[in-house]
A and B are shown apart, each in its own frame.
Chain A
Amino acid sequence: AQSVAQPEDQVNVAEGNPLTVKCTYSVSGNPYLFWYVQYPNRGLQFLLKYITGDNLVKGSYGFEAEFNKSQTSFHLKKPSALVSDSALYFCAVRDGKGIGTASKLTFGTGTRLQVTL
Protein backbone atom coordinates (compact mmCIF):
# COMPACT_ATOMS: atom_id res chain seq x y z
CA ALA A 1 0.00 0.00 0.00
CA GLN A 2 1.15 3.52 -0.67
CA SER A 3 0.79 6.43 1.70
CA VAL A 4 1.97 9.97 2.19
CA ALA A 5 2.21 12.08 5.32
CA GLN A 6 2.27 15.82 5.71
CA PRO A 7 3.11 16.32 9.39
CA GLU A 8 2.25 20.01 9.58
CA ASP A 9 -1.30 21.29 9.28
CA GLN A 10 -0.03 24.83 8.85
CA VAL A 11 3.25 26.56 8.13
CA ASN A 12 3.72 30.24 8.83
CA VAL A 13 6.51 32.23 7.24
CA ALA A 14 7.31 35.89 6.69
CA GLU A 15 7.51 37.21 3.14
CA GLY A 16 11.04 37.04 1.83
CA ASN A 17 12.03 34.17 4.08
CA PRO A 18 12.64 30.64 2.79
CA LEU A 19 9.82 28.15 3.20
CA THR A 20 9.68 24.39 3.56
CA VAL A 21 6.58 22.21 3.47
CA LYS A 22 7.30 18.68 4.58
CA CYS A 23 6.22 15.41 3.02
CA THR A 24 7.18 11.81 3.68
CA TYR A 25 5.98 8.80 1.75
CA SER A 26 5.74 5.05 1.83
CA VAL A 27 5.65 2.78 -1.23
CA SER A 28 6.78 -0.73 -2.00
CA GLY A 29 8.22 0.07 -5.42
CA ASN A 30 9.80 3.17 -6.88
CA PRO A 31 8.01 6.36 -5.85
CA TYR A 32 6.50 8.86 -8.22
CA LEU A 33 5.98 12.05 -6.23
CA PHE A 34 3.94 15.15 -6.91
CA TRP A 35 3.16 18.50 -5.35
CA TYR A 36 -0.09 20.34 -5.95
CA VAL A 37 -1.33 23.72 -4.74
CA GLN A 38 -4.93 24.69 -4.06
CA TYR A 39 -5.99 28.31 -3.87
CA PRO A 40 -9.33 29.18 -2.21
CA ASN A 41 -12.35 27.96 -4.15
CA ARG A 42 -10.16 26.49 -6.88
CA GLY A 43 -9.12 23.04 -8.00
CA LEU A 44 -5.71 21.55 -7.36
CA GLN A 45 -2.95 22.87 -9.58
CA PHE A 46 0.11 20.82 -10.48
CA LEU A 47 3.41 22.30 -9.24
CA LEU A 48 6.11 19.72 -9.85
CA LYS A 49 6.92 16.03 -9.90
CA TYR A 50 9.77 13.63 -9.26
CA ILE A 51 10.02 10.60 -11.51
CA THR A 52 13.70 9.74 -11.71
CA GLY A 53 17.06 11.41 -12.06
CA ASP A 54 18.17 14.57 -10.28
CA ASN A 55 16.98 14.65 -6.69
CA LEU A 56 16.25 18.38 -6.88
CA VAL A 57 13.17 19.09 -8.96
CA LYS A 58 12.22 22.58 -10.06
CA GLY A 59 8.63 23.54 -10.70
CA SER A 60 6.24 26.42 -11.19
CA TYR A 61 6.35 29.78 -9.39
CA GLY A 62 9.90 29.29 -8.13
CA PHE A 63 9.10 26.19 -6.10
CA GLU A 64 11.41 23.23 -5.91
CA ALA A 65 11.41 19.92 -4.07
CA GLU A 66 14.14 17.61 -2.92
CA PHE A 67 13.77 13.87 -3.15
CA ASN A 68 15.57 11.99 -0.39
CA LYS A 69 15.33 8.25 -0.77
CA SER A 70 16.98 7.34 2.52
CA GLN A 71 14.60 9.56 4.47
CA THR A 72 11.63 8.79 2.17
CA SER A 73 10.94 12.50 1.96
CA PHE A 74 9.98 14.97 -0.73
CA HIS A 75 9.92 18.39 0.93
CA LEU A 76 8.70 21.42 -0.99
CA LYS A 77 10.88 24.50 -0.81
CA LYS A 78 11.10 28.05 -2.01
CA PRO A 79 14.03 30.38 -1.33
CA SER A 80 11.92 33.51 -0.84
CA ALA A 81 8.22 33.30 0.05
CA LEU A 82 5.57 35.66 -1.31
CA VAL A 83 2.25 36.57 0.27
CA SER A 84 0.62 35.23 -2.90
CA ASP A 85 2.06 31.78 -2.11
CA SER A 86 -0.45 31.46 0.72
CA ALA A 87 -2.54 28.42 -0.15
CA LEU A 88 -3.11 24.75 0.64
CA TYR A 89 -0.35 22.43 -0.54
CA PHE A 90 -0.76 18.72 -1.20
CA CYS A 91 1.89 16.09 -1.58
CA ALA A 92 0.94 12.96 -3.54
CA VAL A 93 2.56 9.63 -4.31
CA ARG A 94 2.07 6.86 -6.77
CA ASP A 95 3.75 3.47 -6.49
CA GLY A 96 5.70 2.67 -9.63
CA LYS A 97 4.76 -0.98 -9.91
CA GLY A 98 3.45 -0.88 -13.41
CA ILE A 99 0.99 0.84 -15.66
CA GLY A 100 -2.59 0.35 -14.60
CA THR A 101 -1.88 -1.73 -11.51
CA ALA A 102 -1.01 1.15 -9.28
CA SER A 103 -2.41 4.19 -10.98
CA LYS A 104 -4.04 5.64 -7.92
CA LEU A 105 -2.54 8.88 -6.76
CA THR A 106 -2.59 9.02 -2.98
CA PHE A 107 -2.76 12.53 -1.53
CA GLY A 108 -1.63 13.79 1.83
CA THR A 109 -3.95 15.73 4.10
CA GLY A 110 -2.56 19.05 2.96
CA THR A 111 -0.53 21.81 4.62
CA ARG A 112 -1.80 25.33 4.78
CA LEU A 113 0.94 27.85 4.03
CA GLN A 114 0.43 31.31 5.43
CA VAL A 115 2.88 33.98 4.27
CA THR A 116 2.68 37.30 6.07
CA LEU A 117 4.22 40.71 5.46
Chain B
Amino acid sequence: DAGVIQSPRHEVTEMGQEVTLRCKPISGHNSLFWYRQTMMRGLELLIYFNNNVPIDDSGMPEDRFSAKMPNASFSTLKIQPSEPRDSAVYFCASSHGLAENNEQFFGPGTRLTVL
Protein backbone atom coordinates (compact mmCIF):
# COMPACT_ATOMS: atom_id res chain seq x y z
CA ASP B 1 0.00 0.00 0.00
CA ALA B 2 1.70 3.19 -1.18
CA GLY B 3 2.07 5.99 1.30
CA VAL B 4 2.17 9.68 0.54
CA ILE B 5 4.33 10.27 -2.52
CA GLN B 6 6.32 13.45 -3.00
CA SER B 7 8.45 14.59 -5.89
CA PRO B 8 11.12 15.57 -6.40
CA ARG B 9 12.97 14.28 -3.35
CA HIS B 10 15.68 16.88 -3.81
CA GLU B 11 15.60 20.18 -5.64
CA VAL B 12 18.44 22.62 -6.09
CA THR B 13 17.64 25.86 -7.83
CA GLU B 14 18.86 29.40 -8.13
CA MET B 15 17.32 32.42 -6.53
CA GLY B 16 14.51 33.83 -8.63
CA GLN B 17 13.54 30.56 -10.25
CA GLU B 18 10.12 28.99 -9.95
CA VAL B 19 9.90 25.81 -7.90
CA THR B 20 7.03 23.33 -7.97
CA LEU B 21 6.71 20.58 -5.40
CA ARG B 22 4.29 17.73 -5.94
CA CYS B 23 2.32 15.46 -3.68
CA LYS B 24 0.09 12.45 -4.13
CA PRO B 25 -1.89 11.67 -0.96
CA ILE B 26 -2.85 8.21 0.20
CA SER B 27 -5.78 6.92 -1.80
CA GLY B 28 -9.03 7.54 0.06
CA HIS B 29 -7.66 10.35 2.20
CA ASN B 30 -9.52 13.59 1.66
CA SER B 31 -7.40 15.97 3.72
CA LEU B 32 -3.97 17.16 2.65
CA PHE B 33 -1.42 19.25 4.50
CA TRP B 34 1.77 21.03 3.44
CA TYR B 35 4.48 21.59 6.08
CA ARG B 36 7.91 23.17 6.05
CA GLN B 37 10.71 22.04 8.34
CA THR B 38 13.83 24.05 9.15
CA MET B 39 16.33 23.93 11.97
CA MET B 40 15.43 27.43 13.07
CA ARG B 41 11.65 27.25 12.95
CA GLY B 42 10.91 23.56 13.33
CA LEU B 43 7.83 22.12 11.65
CA GLU B 44 5.40 24.72 10.31
CA LEU B 45 1.99 24.11 8.78
CA LEU B 46 1.70 26.10 5.56
CA ILE B 47 -1.74 25.20 4.24
CA TYR B 48 -4.26 22.41 4.34
CA PHE B 49 -7.07 21.21 2.10
CA ASN B 50 -10.22 19.23 2.72
CA ASN B 51 -11.99 17.66 -0.26
CA ASN B 52 -9.66 19.62 -2.55
CA VAL B 53 -10.69 22.96 -1.03
CA PRO B 54 -8.13 25.11 0.83
CA ILE B 55 -9.30 25.46 4.42
CA ASP B 56 -6.55 27.48 6.04
CA ASP B 57 -3.60 29.10 4.30
CA SER B 58 -2.60 31.36 7.16
CA GLY B 59 0.74 29.61 7.42
CA MET B 60 1.79 30.47 3.90
CA PRO B 61 4.70 32.86 4.46
CA GLU B 62 4.31 35.18 1.50
CA ASP B 63 2.49 35.73 -1.75
CA ARG B 64 5.39 33.99 -3.45
CA PHE B 65 3.93 30.75 -2.11
CA SER B 66 0.84 29.18 -3.63
CA ALA B 67 -0.75 25.76 -3.40
CA LYS B 68 -3.37 23.97 -5.44
CA MET B 69 -5.24 20.73 -5.27
CA PRO B 70 -6.93 20.19 -8.64
CA ASN B 71 -8.17 16.73 -7.72
CA ALA B 72 -8.22 14.25 -4.88
CA SER B 73 -4.97 12.60 -5.86
CA PHE B 74 -2.66 15.51 -6.56
CA SER B 75 -1.46 18.73 -5.01
CA THR B 76 1.28 21.22 -5.80
CA LEU B 77 3.14 23.80 -3.78
CA LYS B 78 4.72 26.52 -5.90
CA ILE B 79 7.27 29.13 -4.96
CA GLN B 80 7.75 31.94 -7.43
CA PRO B 81 10.25 33.54 -7.26
CA SER B 82 12.29 31.41 -4.91
CA GLU B 83 14.72 32.91 -2.38
CA PRO B 84 17.58 31.36 -0.37
CA ARG B 85 15.53 31.61 2.84
CA ASP B 86 13.02 29.21 1.32
CA SER B 87 15.58 26.43 1.65
CA ALA B 88 13.97 23.76 3.82
CA VAL B 89 12.42 20.33 3.76
CA TYR B 90 8.83 20.46 2.59
CA PHE B 91 6.50 17.70 3.73
CA CYS B 92 3.12 16.72 2.46
CA ALA B 93 0.77 14.77 4.72
CA SER B 94 -2.69 13.33 4.30
CA SER B 95 -5.41 12.09 6.58
CA HIS B 96 -8.83 10.53 6.38
CA GLY B 97 -10.85 13.66 7.03
CA LEU B 98 -10.37 16.45 9.52
CA ALA B 99 -11.72 14.75 12.62
CA GLU B 100 -9.59 15.49 15.64
CA ASN B 101 -8.68 11.87 16.25
CA ASN B 102 -7.31 11.26 12.76
CA GLU B 103 -3.57 10.95 12.49
CA GLN B 104 -1.70 12.40 9.56
CA PHE B 105 0.55 10.33 7.35
CA PHE B 106 3.64 12.07 6.07
CA GLY B 107 5.51 11.74 2.81
CA PRO B 108 9.30 11.49 2.65
CA GLY B 109 9.68 15.20 1.99
CA THR B 110 11.34 17.36 -0.65
CA ARG B 111 14.64 18.92 0.33
CA LEU B 112 14.79 22.32 -1.37
CA THR B 113 18.00 24.28 -1.69
CA VAL B 114 17.85 27.74 -3.18
CA LEU B 115 21.26 29.13 -4.06
Using A42-B108, A103-B48 as known contacts, say yes or no to A110 and B103 having CB atoms under 8 A apart. Answer: no
Would you give the shortest CB distance from B38 to chain A, in whole angstroms?
11
Cβ of B91 under 8 Å from chain A:
yes
- The SS class assigned to the B binding surface is strand
Would you give the shortest CB distance from B45 to chain A, in whole angstroms?
6
Do A103 and B103 have beta carbons less than 8 Å apart? no
The B10-31 residues at the A interface (CB cut-off 8 A) are 31
Please name the residue on chain B nearest to A42 by beta carbon.
B108
* Bound CA span A110–B50, Å: 27
- Chain B residues packing against A (C-beta within 8 Å): 4, 31, 33, 42-43, 45, 48, 50, 55-56, 91, 93, 97-101, 103-109
- Chain A residues packing against B (C-beta within 8 Å): 32, 34, 36, 41-46, 49, 51, 90, 94-96, 99-100, 102-105, 107-110
